[in-house]
């Protein structure tokens, strides 16, 4: 009987013991499906120092680019749920891709543990004025309509938020444009600056440098209200496509089966970082809106977004094998 009680007690306390020892082994690897310099990378680096201080362990980035973020998602879904490998995903990787890709090697709902959202991200219609010399959304629409099939637009990959933002915009405005996907934000924006394509819906934070250098022009943001980082840029809705709204979130996920105490620890580090004035101001300066939710709230957000994005994908007619 004594031995039975000892075994029972050891079993009952096994999970808390693991949580108490975490994150002694470190570092924590944050996997993302887009390259260094992308919007995801900027967000991680903005929060990295604060989260490292809270958790007492180093945080490193691992870039697994390709397949619209699916390679990174698959890597994390197949990793051990020990808190040392987590995913920096998006509404695209966990909302869009489930509807867009006919075959996924993982289940976006059942193979992950939602940890916390980080920010809401606005895109902005960004044009190369040497390729399409327009100053407003209305002028852009008129120019493209007058030249059907002439203008190409870039995206950060098939099925990404930037792709579907333009697909929805084209559908609402009745435009005929050619989609040119790239491997990530830096490559896509470079193509716009070089004049290989005329335009892109890219994240505000990613285009500010080229905009300030005068190499691109910003016509309209995709959120319901204007963005503080570029207050003079109207929303797409007010500038020519009434009712248009399209933005995504970035958030952290672990593999399924993560210890709830480890999830809570990472979530708490996120909360503390987002409450840090310097971090919040940095995000606002970049055009992002800090967003905190508990793991349970984030799970509900992800579920609701899957339904929303499934409708967008269906209406766009986009599909990938």
Q: How confident is the model at residue 20 (pLDDT cuts 50, 70, 90)?
A: low
pLDDT at 65: 92
Q: Classify residue 273: in a domain, yes or no.
A: yes
Q: Classify residue 210: in a domain, yes or no.
A: yes
Q: 167: domain range?
A: 122-239
Distance CA 127, CA 199 (A): 4
Instruction: Please say if the pLDDT value at position 11 is more than 70.
Output: no
Show the tokens assigned to 58: 């180093």
Could you tell me the CA-to-CA distances from 307 to 112, 207, 228, 313 in Å, in that order?
17, 29, 29, 10
pLDDT at 282: 94
- One domain for residues 265 and 290: yes
What are the backbone angles phi and psi of residue 253, rounded to the nearest 5°? -135, 150
Please give the tally of structural domains in the chain. 2
Domain boundary pick from 207, 239, 271: 239
Domain boundary pick from 217, 239, 261: 239
pLDDT digits (tens, 9 = 90+) for 30-79: 999 999 988 899 999 999 999 999 999 999 999 999 888 999 999 999 99
pLDDT digits (tens, 9 = 90+) for 137-176: 999 999 999 999 999 999 988 777 788 899 889 999 999 9
- One domain for residues 14 and 113: yes
Closest CA to 199 of 180, 212, 172: 180
Q: Classify residue 207: in a domain, yes or no.
A: yes
CATH classification of the domain holding 257: 3.40.190.150
Q: Classify residue 321: in a domain, yes or no.
A: no
Domain boundary pick from 239, 263, 292: 239
What average pLDDT score do residues 269-282 get?
Answer: 97
pLDDT digits (tens, 9 = 90+) for 118-141: 999 999 999 999 999 999 999 999
pLDDT digits (tens, 9 = 90+) for 70-98: 999 999 999 999 999 999 999 989 988 88
């Amino acid at each position: 009987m004594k031995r039975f009680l000892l075994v029972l007690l050891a079993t009952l306390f096994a999970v808390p013991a693991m949580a108490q020892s975490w994150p002694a082994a470190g570092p924590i690897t944050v996997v993302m499906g887009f390259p260094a310099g992308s919007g995801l990378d900027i967000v991680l680096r903005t929060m990295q120092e604060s989260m490292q201080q809270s958790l007492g362990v180093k945080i490193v980035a691992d870039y697994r680019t390709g397949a619209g973020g699916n390679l990174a998602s698959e890597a994390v879904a197949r990793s051990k749920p020990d808190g040392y490998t987590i995913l920096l995903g998006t509404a695209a990787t966990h909302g869009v891709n489930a509807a867009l890709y006919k075959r996924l090697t993982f289940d976006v709902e059942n193979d992950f543990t939602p940890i916390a959202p980080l920010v809401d991200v606005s895109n902005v219609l960004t044009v190369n004025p040497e390729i399409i010399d327009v100053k407003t959304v209305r002028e852009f629409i008129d120019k493209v309509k007058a030249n059907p099939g002439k203008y190409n637009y870039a995206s950060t990959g098939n099925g990404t938020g930037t792709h579907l933002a333009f697909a929805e915009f084209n559908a609402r405005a009745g435009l005929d444009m050619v989609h040119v996907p790239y491997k990530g934000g830096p490559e896509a924006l470079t193509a716009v600056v070089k004049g290989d394509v005329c335009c892109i819906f890219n994240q505000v934070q990613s285009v500010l440098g080229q905009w300030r250098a005068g190499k691109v022009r910003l016509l309209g943001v995709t959120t319901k209200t204007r963005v503080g980082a570029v207050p003079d840029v109207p929303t797409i809705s007010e500038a020519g496509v009434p009712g248009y709204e399209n933005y995504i979130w970035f958030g952290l996920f672990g593999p399924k089966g993560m210890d709830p105490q480890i999830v809570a620890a990472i979530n708490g580090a996120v909360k503390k970082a987002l409450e840090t004035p310097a971090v919040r101001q940095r995000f606002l300066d970049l055009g992002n809106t800090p967003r905190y939710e508990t793991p349970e709230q984030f799970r509900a957000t992800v579920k609701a977004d899957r339904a929303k994005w499934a409708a967008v994908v269906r209406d766009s007619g986009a599909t990938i094998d």
